[in-house]
Amino acid sequence: MDKKNLPKVAYFCMEYALESSFKQYAGGLGILAGDYLKGAKDYGYPIIGIGIKWKQGYFDQMIDENGNPFDAYHNYVYDFLEDTGVKVDVDIRGRKVICKVWKVDCFGNAPLYLLDTDIPENEDAYITGQLYGWFKEERIAQEMVLGIGGVRALRALNIPIDVYHFNEGHAVFAGFELIKEKMDMGMSFDEAVNKSREEIVFTTHTPILQGNESHYLDSLMYMGANNGLTRQQLVKIGGDPFNMTVAALRLSRISNAVSKLHERTANNMWKDVKGKSDIIGITNAIHIPTWVDEHMIKAAEGNCGIWENHMNNKQNLIDFVYKRNGVKLNKDALLIGFSRRAAPYKRSNFIFTDEKKISSLINSGKLQIVFAGKGHPLDDKGKEIVKDILKMTKKYPNAVVFLENYDMEIGKMLTSGSDVWLNNPRRPLEASGTSGMKAAMNGVLNLSILDGWWPEACNDGVNGWQFGDGFESDDEKELDEHDSKAFYKVLDEVIDTYYNNHDKWVEMMRNSILSIKDEFSVKRMLKDYYSKMYIR
């Protein structure tokens, strides 16, 4: 692909995970955005990142002496950000909010610009205080800064843009600004919408209907998020209440889901939305230099040293766990890794469904498990899941570990040093799940339900394992019982292979790496975005 004449893309996202110490991310959305920008830099794509400079970033979640998760927020200062000298303003609640524009300049052709309201000029300095923090009105204010402020920042920076890519619905108000620009030049509302649609593409992530953000029209009008549009025009775009995903689907010329299965799920979810763009599937991918041990890829390609390199990574994980938790794991025992946001549908404690069986495996020394993950500050059920896992760490202190305050560093350690990567969400609620890709490219064998990206990659018993047959049910109890029976049956096969068929295990590691490394790299993903969405 000749990159000289490619469309220039502005990529809008609420969070970016560039490195563990840069606390501007919450989870998978930010991980994807960070990998996307790093890939754009590596492969020379003309992409501009637009985001927010969060003062507190995401929360830390620690464990107190009684085994209860608690949340903490910290102010972070970054001395490597470049002051662009640019400030733009956004009218929020009837007064001007000044947004200072910072630049993360380490990306060359793919710079990241971050908007910041935490400056002396603002009464509303706190708007960019906390990623996904505060409450309803402040979320709208944050999204106004990202969307309206983001477009105005691009204009002030004199950066011409061909395509505006909204990564999730948070950026929808950027569409309002594009419409306003055209209406200010004399276009009618319908003309401005149609013209703006030609410039906008959209990625939807959340496969749970209730998880797609909506706002009351009164709130949008009061906040000024309508940006000059009438109430009737808002309804035409996003409905009443105003749904950010519906609006993005209607304002974009094309949209994408983040795996082939998610494409099916998303199209079914939004099938009744009139005037929406087509939703195609572009499966997420990862930035290999960030997440994958290059020695593992070279070993797989040369078919030499796979096990030895893996055991070095496993020892690094064991040392990491010992330093963090004081638990010395057994290098020779099968080690399962599991790190996810502690949301009920991800079923973090699923492996303990039949505790009698798991207890036998743990007590016999055949199995050890390392968990990581955070429960959302307002998700009591998620925190109960964490507490349940913590109880298991007390019950099996030398074999079950929970690493608190999950971040990129922990994620990288687990996806490179585990023997098996466990993934067991309730299908079809995992849109993609890139952690399994990271594990697979490191030779860590996936043991996963057929959800997210895994149905596209799984060759059962050859490059990893599936459990279950893609069964879906609205009855959670029925689904959990079905999946647990399937899981324990396959777990026996996994354990038998690890201890009794070493040659097959190593061959599966090699197959895992070689079958995943190209198809699920960010290089392929960027090619797909350009060929299927950006280039008309």
CATH of the domain at 491: 3.40.50.2000
Higher pLDDT pick, 297 / 79 = 297
* Residue 441's pLDDT band (cuts 50, 70, 90): very high
In this prediction, residues 416-443 reach a mean pLDDT of 95
CB 128 within 8 A of CB 139: no
CB 217 within 8 A of CB 235: yes
Q: What is the pLDDT of residue 79?
A: 87
Instruction: Tell me whether residue 256 is exposed, middle or buried, using C-beta atoms within 10 angstroms of its C-beta: 0 to 12, 13 to 18, 19 or more.
Output: buried
**pLDDT > 90? residue 4:** no
Same domain, 98 and 214: yes
Distance between CA atoms of residues 24 and 51, nearest Å = 9
Q: In this structure, is the dihedral angle defined by the CA atoms of residues 372, 377, 379 and 384, taken in order, positive or negative? A: positive
Nearest to 339 by CA among 407, 419, 266, 273: 407
Distance between CA atoms of residues 251 and 479, nearest Å = 36
Q: Is residue 176 part of a domain?
A: yes
Q: What is the pLDDT of residue 344?
A: 87
How many domains is the chain built from? 2
Same domain, 150 and 123: yes
Same domain, 268 and 324: no
**pLDDT > 90? residue 342:** no
Nearest to 39 by CA among 444, 458, 530: 530
Give the domain range for residue 168: 9-286
CB 29 within 8 A of CB 168: yes
Chain-wide mean pLDDT for the chain?
95
In this prediction, residues 432-452 reach a mean pLDDT of 97
Q: What is the pLDDT of residue 308?
A: 98
Same domain, 398 and 433: yes
Same domain, 174 and 201: yes
User: Which residues lie closer than 8 Å to 424 by C-beta, 6 or more apart?
Assistant: 346, 347, 350, 351, 448, 449, 467, 483, 487
Q: Is residue 13 part of a domain?
A: yes
330 by DSSP, 3-state: which?
Answer: coil
In this prediction, residues 217-245 reach a mean pLDDT of 97
Detail the DSSP E strand segments found in 376-475: 400-403, 420-423, 445-449, 464-467
For the beta carbon of residue 469, count every other beta carbon within 10 angstroms.
Answer: 10
Q: Is residue 526 part of a domain?
A: no
Same domain, 155 and 197: yes
Which of 237, 264, 286 terminates a domain? The answer is 286
Structure tokens at 465: 């394992």
Q: Is residue 525 part of a domain?
A: no
CB 255 within 8 A of CB 231: no
* Residue 66's pLDDT band (cuts 50, 70, 90): confident
Distance between CA atoms of residues 130 and 522, nearest Å = 29
Q: Is residue 530 part of a domain?
A: no
Same domain, 71 and 116: yes
Strand partners, 215: 242
Q: Is residue 532 part of a domain?
A: no
CB 91 within 8 A of CB 77: no
Over residues 104-115, the pLDDT tens digits come to 977 678 999 999
Same domain, 93 and 110: yes
Over residues 179-189, the pLDDT tens digits come to 999 999 999 99
Q: Is residue 373 part of a domain?
A: yes
Same domain, 72 and 30: yes
Same domain, 167 and 77: yes
**pLDDT > 80? residue 256:** yes
Same domain, 117 and 182: yes
Which of 266, 286, 306 terminates a domain? The answer is 286
Distance between CA atoms of residues 167 and 443, nearest Å = 30
Same domain, 112 and 165: yes
